[in-house]
Amino acid sequence: MFRAVIFDWDGTLADTKKAVIQSFQSVLTEAGCKVGDEFIVRRIGIGTKKTIIETFRECHKKLDAMTLEKLAEEKVRIQIELGNSVKLLDGAFDLLETLRGKSKIALATMSGRKVIDELLQEKRINRYFEIVVSADDVSNPKPDPEVFTVSAIKLGVKPKDCVVIEDSVFGLRAAKAAKMRCIAVPSGAYSREELEKEQPDLIVNSLAEKETILHFIFN
């Protein structure tokens, strides 16, 4: 039995793809940097600033620290405005409700604090999480394990007693690096086959497979 369950947000608990793509494309287009939507989608989960840096590199454009900060702030502002387009994924609410009171629950996301606080309140699920660790609380984005190790420390739980639920290869690699067990769900940008290559401890098609997930967590 695991003492704590740590959820990712983008693509795991919520379908944020539309808001993420539109907010990034808005600021990047304004900056004269054009990439396809898929380029952005495949980087969901590594953080706003790292995505902007990689996009500018792809466009062979120079990026200074001041411009990076400005673009990141504007992207966050736009993404918050697009909050209505974000929907909880199938099975997310039911799984959180079932876990409540039975396990410590944390959210570890590379979304910024302003974005995630707004969305959790809007979707009325902030009450489920004992702690929320955002991109603003760590120095290194996934696949670095920092966001998960910080979560464990704040929960007062050892890494071996934590299980992470993730949708991306970055997240699974981060969970493994943090010495935690991990459940993969192909509800984001990555296929089941891509996630299987990362050798998660369990893979389910969606969070709606509640009984399978609960059996792994509690047995």
Contact 134, 120 (CB under 8 A): no
* Rounded mean pLDDT, 100-107: 97
- Convert the pLDDT of each residue in 38-61 to its tens digit: 999 999 888 899 999 999 999 999
- For position 46, what pLDDT does the model report? 87
- Closest by CA to 105, choosing from 141, 157, 143, 65, is 157
CA distance 126 to 118: 10
Q: How many CB atoms lie within 10 A of CB 100?
A: 12
> 65, 80, 64: which is closest to 23 by C-alpha?
80
Average pLDDT over residues 166-189: 96
How many angstroms from the chain centroid is the CA of residue 2? 20
> Could you tell me the pLDDT band of residue 109, with boundaries at 50, 70 and 90?
very high
Residue 112, class by beta-carbon neighbours within 10 Å (0-12 exposed, 13-18 middle, 19+ buried)? buried
Cα–Cα distance, 55 to 161 (Å, whole number): 37
Ordered DSSP codes for 45-95? TS-HHHHHHHHHHHTT----HHHHHHHHHHHHHHHHHTGGG-EEPTTHHHH
Q: Is residue 5 very low, low, confident or very high in pLDDT (cuts 50, 70, 90)?
A: very high
Statement: residue 65 has pLDDT above 90: yes
Give the pLDDT confidence score for residue 23 in this predicted structure: 96
Share of the chain above pLDDT 90, in %: 95
Please report the pLDDT score of residue 47 as a whole number.
87
Of the candidates 31, 30, 28, which has an alpha carbon nearest to the alpha carbon of residue 40?
A: 28
Predicted TM-score (pTM) of the model is 0.91
On average, the pLDDT of the chain sits at 96
What pLDDT shows up at residue 215? Answer: 98
Exposure letters 59-96 (e unless 16+ CB within 10 A, then b): beeebeeeeeeebbeebbebbbebeeebebbebbbebb
């900056």: which residue's tokens? Answer: 31
36 class by beta-carbon count within 10 Å (0-12 exposed, 13-18 middle, 19+ buried): exposed
Domains and CATH numbers, the chain: 4-15+86-218 (3.40.50.1000), 17-84 (1.10.150)
Residue type, 36: G
Question: What is the average pLDDT across 73-95?
Answer: 95
What is the reported pLDDT for 211? 98
pLDDT tens across 185-211, in order? 999 989 999 999 999 999 999 999 999
